[in-house]
Structure 1
Amino acid sequence: MYIETVRIHIPPNTAETFEAAVADLADLLHHNKQCLTYELSRLVTNPDTYMLRIEWTPDSNQIGGVRDGEHLAPLLAELMPAILGVEETFVTETTDVSGEGGALRGLS
């Protein structure tokens, strides 16, 4: 699985508008057969900075690459008027090291 992360900076005091725009455009990801999950989060220390995280199926790399493929470009093109800039984009690949933390396992 590939995980694409995009760090986006928006103008101050536009969070509500930006989040609504992403929610409207999330339909592109919701109906993409190679998108496993997606989420938009924002930095606690800087609420004008967001992280868009998308998990892609392993075969998504075979259609031209996640970053260079057709997946994210339409979404970002629609959002560009609402953002100051894309600060960083990177793609990672999962490893076998993963698991549930104590909170999910009912530990106190």
Structure 2
Amino acid sequence: MILHISMATSLFLMSLLMFMLDSNPCTALSWRNNSLVDDIGIPCPVSPHPFTMCKSEAEAYGYPCEDHKVTTEDGYILSLKRIPHGHDTDNSTGDEKTRQPILLFHGLFVTVGLMFG
């Protein structure tokens, strides 16, 4: 019985050690705050989140989507999404009428994902 507990403990510690050696703090943190992670002493390059709203919501339903980052005069960074046309049309012909842009705001305690679902 003691041998099984000792073996299980050793296996757990070996697995934990392998996980710690394999994990990269830059990969875990840089997409979350979208900035350099230097609080751990390692300068990490910024990497985008792999599941953006455009990829997971709009493009999943066949709409083209563009991500834009806009910095205001006071330094506030906005993340804007643009859907240039519907999934049935292509604006490359230029024959269509110019359409007015629509600005959507989600409500309090509501996510933007509800607008596409």
Provide the TM-score with structure 2 as the length reference: 0.27
- Higher helix residue share: 2
More strand by share: 1
State TM-score, norm by structure 1: 0.29
Larger Rg: 2
